[in-house]
Amino acid sequence: MVHRCQLKETLPASDGASYTILVFTASWCTACHVDYARNKHQFDAVQRNNVRVISYSLDTKLANWQKLISKEDYIQEAYCDLQGFDSPFVRHLEIVTIPRYVLLDWELKIVSAYASSNIREMFDYLKN
């Protein structure tokens, strides 16, 4: 399990993953929790197929983020810089609502971004 409060200017190496999904969430985001729970089996399936899943929380309080990531079934690799929507990383990716999913290729280049309403498109893309 990797839990860090800082994400460097660039993402950690992809460790050979064919794709990486960045899951933008927060402890206070009920829609995020519902969406993740509804799609957990899909996230588990893509991880078994060499897709890396990383949680990036928009929490601003360390205790709230720690409570979020302490859940047994939560994403194993989690980051939070405690800056919320003001995070340079979040602003760079133009994340203005959550839940939000950003799909990166093996070079960590953005393939596409998905809202909760079209997350199925991301899973369909990954199946092909």
What is the tens place of the pLDDT at every residue in 65-77? 999 888 867 888 8
Backbone dihedral region of 66: left (phi > 0), alpha (psi from -120 to 50 degrees) or beta?
alpha
Which band of pLDDT confidence, cut at 50, 70 and 90, is reported for residue 31? very high
Q: In what order do the strands lie in the sheet with 77-80?
A: 2-4, 77-80, 51-57, 19-25, 100-105, 110-115
Q: Does 38 have pLDDT greater than 80?
A: yes
How do beta strands 2-4 and 51-57 pair?
Answer: unpaired
Mean pLDDT computed over 103-126:
88
CATH number at residue 51: 3.40.30.10
Q: What is the pLDDT of residue 69?
A: 87
Q: What is the pLDDT of residue 8?
A: 46
Which band of pLDDT confidence, cut at 50, 70 and 90, is reported for residue 116? confident
How do beta strands 77-80 and 2-4 pair?
Answer: parallel
Total number of domains constituting the chain: 1
The pTM of this model reads 0.86
Domain span at 50: 2-8+17-127
Q: Chain-wide mean pLDDT for the chain?
A: 85
Which residues touch 122 (CB under 8 Å, ≥6 apart)? Answer: 21, 101, 103, 112, 114
Q: What is the H or E stretch that residue 105 is in?
A: strand 100-105
- 119-127 and 30-48 helices, crossing angle to 10°: 0
Check if the beta carbon of residue 124 is closer than 8 Å to that of residue 46.
Answer: no
